[in-house]
Amino acid sequence: MKGSLSFFLISLVAILLGTCRGGELRKHFYEETCPEAEDIVQKIIWENVALNSTLPAKFLRMHFHDCFVRGCDASVLIDSTASNSAEKDSIPNQTVGGFDVIEEVKTELEKKCPGIVSCADIVALATRDSVSFQFEKPLWEVLTGRRDGRISLVSEANSQIPPPSFNFSQLKQSFASKGLTVHDLVVLSGGHTIGVGHCNFFSRRLYNFTGKGDADPSLDSTYAAFLRTKCRSLADNTTIVEMDPGSGMDFDNNYYKILRQNKGMFQSDAALLTDNGASNIVDELLDPAKFFTEFAQSMERLGAVGVLTGTSGEIRKKCNVVTIVIAGKATELISQHVMMVKESGKFSKTAEIADCLTSSQIRGRSHSLTLRRMWTWLPKIWIMTKRYNVPVATGVAGRGIDIPDVAHVINYDMPGNIEMHTHLIGRTGRAGKLV
Ligand code: HEM
Ligand SMILES: *[C@@H]1O[C@H](CO)[C@@H](O)[C@H](O)[C@H]1NC(C)=O
Ligand SMILES: *[C@@H]1O[C@H](CO)[C@@H](O)[C@H](O)[C@H]1NC(C)=O
Ligand SMILES: *[C@@H]1O[C@H](CO)[C@@H](O)[C@H](O)[C@H]1NC(C)=O
Ligand SMILES: *[C@@H]1O[C@H](CO)[C@@H](O)[C@H](O)[C@H]1NC(C)=O
Ligand SMILES: CC(=O)N[C@H]1CO[C@H](CO)[C@@H](O)[C@@H]1O
């Protein structure tokens, strides 16, 4: 009986914590915390794209790679360190670019609203804005509220990002593993309407397809001959070729036209014609209006893959480095004060601290001391003092779980060592989430 009660309590706390962490992407997540965020991103991205028309393709590919490894959490932006080889070192990433522009946006946002806007959201917005530049209006909606991951592994990038040699069933499986459909696969492959490919990603199709010095029969032979004039040998890994010949800078549905003519650059492009269902979708997307509508929808789905929201992950200060946590130190967004109070019994101590807070420097700030009335009926875990409406937490709840609307956390007893203090300031103190 006792066992089942505590099991009940544990599950309940787990559920409540689950809800607390909650959070989904939503429209204009920064409306209140950083109202100018989306305008700032658009302004800087448009300025850069105006000077460098290769950027939209770089961001589109960057966003795709980000979302396919640990979800859209900006793990693609993290630099390798002495002890960790990050996604940036991976084979598919070798040619991702635009990192400097993301950092320029981040720097500006940190000036305006420090610690608020995630790098993951910046990548999603930068992708939309860069591709939309030529249309002077957003081509799709970007929901925001992503948080940044803290892990980036080269091995995961190499195993999660589909290589251009994939056949249809492998591509289908790769997208399915991210919750994306064959429809998304065909629609998003339309991203190859802009940008370039390096010879080494497709030259086997030109020179040595089956290992007998032959060309890929599914590649248009005239086009293959043209590509051989660009990529002179199997060893060429520096020459780049437009993926959508003649239209490589325009974001349009020309990709599907050339695909139908067997002029898709990679085996993975050609593979879309090897499945009846996918091939039918290719035909549908020959209609430009249909392509723009479908692309917008699939981008929203791609942008939601495996996102961290609520209190998961962090908001990085710089997009290329994971925030390093120093033991005992709260983030700069949190201030810590020590107050001496008389030792006079647990509950009156609460009252005393509350008095102290309301009457001291904390009064006058915008935060209210009235904390949310929660879980009063969970004896031992939360005890509420009626007078001040301050929840008192012990155990795991006392370790600074990140509860929305909690502006102040009071720890009674001075911890004996720095590790203990780090536990006490908990996630709230270390992640620096603002109220
Ligand atoms: C379906 C599986 C996919 C495969 C196998 C694949 C593979 C590749 C490869 C090998 C390149 C050439 C990179 C280089 O040589 O620099 C490339 C370029 C590109 N990919 Fe994909 N890709 C896929 C899906 C996507 C998706 C879903 C998007 C975005 C919606 C995308 C957007 C791009 C863009 C924009 C480029 C040009 C990059 C540049 O110009 O630097 N790709 N892709
Ligand atoms: C344009 O951006 C790409 C990707 O970041 C970069 O490699 C290239 O040098 C830039 N070109 C110019 C002219 O700035
Ligand atoms: C696709 O490739 C996988 C792995 O090489 C192979 O097992 C499978 O038979 C291939 N599928 C088709 C339809 O060729
Ligand atoms: C073509 O492929 C075969 C089999 O993989 C390999 O033995 C041969 O060396 C390749 N030819 C060239 C020119 O690389
Ligand atoms: C290109 O090939 C050369 C010679 O094989 C090699 O040294 C170099 O590292 C390669 N570069 C890339 C970017 O793979
Ligand atoms: C292996 C490799 O070429 N990695 C590159 C990945 O992308 C970053 C940023 O452009 C480069 O600095 C790395 O050298």
Tens digits of residue pLDDT in 30-52: 999 999 999 999 999 999 999 99
State yes or no: pLDDT of 286 exceeds 80: yes
pLDDT at 237: 92
State yes or no: pLDDT of 167 exceeds 60: yes
Contact (Cβ atoms closer than 8 angstroms) between residue 56 and residue 194: yes
State yes or no: pLDDT of 90 exceeds 60: yes
Report the C-alpha gap between 149 and 126 in whole angstroms.
18
Residues 6+ apart with CB under 8 A from 393: 381, 382
Q: How much of the chain exceeds pLDDT 90, in percent?
A: 62
- Could you tell me the pLDDT band of residue 149, with boundaries at 50, 70 and 90? very high
pLDDT at 246: 85
State yes or no: pLDDT of 229 exceeds 50: yes
Report the C-alpha gap between 313 and 149 in whole angstroms.
5
- Could you tell me the pLDDT band of residue 216, with boundaries at 50, 70 and 90? very high
State yes or no: pLDDT of 171 exceeds 70: yes
pLDDT at 86: 87
Q: What is the mean pLDDT of residues 130-159?
A: 95
Pocket of ligand 5 (CB under 6 A): 94, 237
The predicted model scores a pTM of 0.78
- Could you tell me the pLDDT band of residue 323, with boundaries at 50, 70 and 90? confident
State yes or no: pLDDT of 97 exceeds 70: yes
Say how many Å lie between the CA of residue 367 and the centre of ligand 1: 47
* Tokens 């997009």 belong to residue: 319
pLDDT tens digit string along 178-199? 999 999 999 999 999 999 999 9
The finding on whether 268 has its CB within 6 A of some atom of ligand 1 is yes
Name the phi and psi angles at 144, rounded to 5. -125, 175
Catalytic (active-site) positions: 65
pLDDT at 417: 64
Ligand number, closest to the Cα atom of 204: 4
The finding on whether 170 has its CB within 6 A of some atom of ligand 3 is yes
DSSP conformational letter for 135: G
pLDDT at 88: 83
Say how many Å lie between the CA of residue 224 and the centre of ligand 4: 18
**Residue among 199, 190, 198, 167 at smallest CA distance from 257:** 190
Going from the C-alpha of 161 to that of each of 66, 90, 92, 151, 297, the distances in angstroms are 9, 10, 7, 16, 21
State yes or no: pLDDT of 203 exceeds 60: yes
The finding on whether 89 has its CB within 6 A of some atom of ligand 6 is yes
Ligand number, closest to the Cα atom of 196: 1
